[in-house]
Amino acid sequence: MRQATAAPVPRMSLRQHVAGAAHGAQLFAAAGRIDLGTAAHSSWLTGADAGPDATVLLRTRDQHDFALALLELDGRAGRLIICPPDLTAAQAAAVMAQHGVTHVFDDATMEGLTPVDGVRRLALRALPQQADVTAPACDTQWLMFTSGTSGPPKLVAHSFAGLTGAITPLAGADAVVWGTFYDVRRYGGLQMLLRALTGGGSMVLSQTGEPVAAFIARLREAGVTHLAGTPSHWRQALMCPDLTTLKPRYLRLSGEIVDQSVLDALRGAFPGVMIGHAFASTEAGVAFEVNDGLAGFPAAWLDMPGKVEMRVRHGTLHLRSGRTASAYAGGGGALHDDDGFVDTGDLVQQRGDRVYFAGRASGIINVGGAKVAPEEVEAVINGVAQVHQSRVHARRNPMTGSLVAAEIVALPGCDEAALRAEILQACRAALPAYKVPVSLTFVAALPMSAGGKLERRHA
């Protein structure tokens, strides 16, 4: 659906939010600091015709360029497609064809995208004068990738209101500096960036591959007050002695199952600091925040009327709220059931008066916030000669929540040691490191369901 151009848009653009920031919004990147409101560092996108009819693909190596491009395009371009850093050129090309991309913003270092006739390229340029701060011309739709099962990644469409719906204005008059270990091109990180910028705060961006100690040093220099990451990010940060030199007022965890040990470790490292954990999913938006220092959430929140309603059906958490994504983009099917509830796909278990998360119904493996579809890894393993069948599952891990593990049924008479080496070699060649199985177990057979499907096991 294209946006209507005539009707006024009942919200502020990101640029308007930034221009009105009381303390001056700043972006802290590894390369340096940018005052988002001032003239000297204002940027502009060439190819400024990216208007309400435009669909812009944003594919950058650098989070900082991405954030600047968002400021320029929010409220101007009709649709933004936000590529995560590990999206391949082939996947990007498929998305461009499928979703009618009219403009591409990619920094010069990204390779592999073949120019397509009629698709225009946008580039960031410094402007000699203050950029105009205008009201939005359209209510830009944000399309983000979700971790589907096997096959091409799916896009989920979000509105600005939906993405920022759970964001409460920051209390107090003090300047707020957000920091995040997340990549802002993924759902959790984008939430943080929007939270910072719409709240009149500043933001410290991490850089891909930056050592944690170096990022912590930058956070300290920027005077970070609010810091967010996955439990895996926090566990890693807790291993850095310098972490406790930070003086944050609020710590936040999301993107993975939050266990009691990481909450306790953070409380030990930052006595008296507010620590919250949030549940959100790309499909369902931010559902709730838990601030009592305990893992899971109160069972009393189930089946309660409110802005976000929750219920458990078939063992998974279902949500209904105005913030859920409207649909999969490009006809990927409806997200809601008849009642307007969305199945989050997260298995939950109630113990006493508390509800705890227990993994993904689909078997999707969450490695430190990055999602792995078992089918994708099985396809690589099954491609190795001498492999009869394989099953990939999550193995619990105290650092990243889970790692990938695989069970293998080998053809009769093969050399297991040689096959093990061959499977690992094939996986390392075809998959990013976090998708490569950390353990391989040879089994005689794998269980099949009555329907003839491989039975998935849940960690």
Partner 1 sequence: MNLHDIIISEIATVAKEQGKTLNPLSDDMALAACGLDSLGFAILVANLEDKLGFDPFATAEDVRYPQTLGDLVRFYHDAVPA
Interface residues with partner 1 (CB under 8 A) are 211-213, 232-233, 235-236, 238-241, 261-262, 264-265, 268, 367-368, 395-400, 403, 428, 433-434, 438-439
Closest separation in Å from C-beta 403 to partner 1: 6
What count of residues does the chain have?
A: 459
The residue behind tokens 């920027």 is: 222
Name which of 152 and 432 has its Cβ closer to partner 1.
432
Question: What is the rounded distance in angstroms from the CA atom of residue 403 to the CA atom of residue 418?
Answer: 23
Name which of 211 and 330 has its Cβ closer to partner 1.
211
Name which of 38 and 425 has its Cβ closer to partner 1.
425
Question: What is the rounded distance in angstroms from the CA atom of residue 61 to the CA atom of residue 85?
Answer: 6
Strand partners, 290: 277
The token pair at 369 is: 């916030």
Name which of 89 and 399 has its Cβ closer to partner 1.
399
Name which of 80 and 263 has its Cβ closer to partner 1.
263
Strands 79-82 and 141-146: parallel
Closest separation in Å from C-beta 398 to partner 1: 3
Q: Give every CB contact of residue 225 below 8 A, 6+ residues apart in sequence.
A: 174, 175, 176, 177, 178, 247, 248, 249, 250
Closest separation in Å from C-beta 234 to partner 1: 10
DSSP code of residue 36: T
Each as own residue / partner, the long-range contacts of residues 89-94 (CB below 8 Å, 24 or more positions apart, any chain) are 89/113, 91/152, 91/153, 92/57, 92/59, 94/152
Closest separation in Å from C-beta 409 to partner 1: 21
Strand partners, 442: 408
The residue behind tokens 């993994």 is: 359
Name which of 75 and 296 has its Cβ closer to partner 1.
296
Closest separation in Å from C-beta 281 to partner 1: 22
Closest separation in Å from C-beta 262 to partner 1: 8
CA-based torsion, 433, 438, 444, 450: positive or negative: negative
Closest separation in Å from C-beta 203 to partner 1: 22
- Conformational region of residue 315, where left means phi above 0, alpha means psi within -120 to 50, and beta covers everything else: left
Name which of 124 and 238 has its Cβ closer to partner 1.
238
Name which of 181 and 341 has its Cβ closer to partner 1.
181
Closest separation in Å from C-beta 404 to partner 1: 10
Task: Provide the residue type at 181 as one letter.
Answer: F
Asked if 180 and 205 count as a contact pair (C-beta separation under 8 A), the reply is: yes
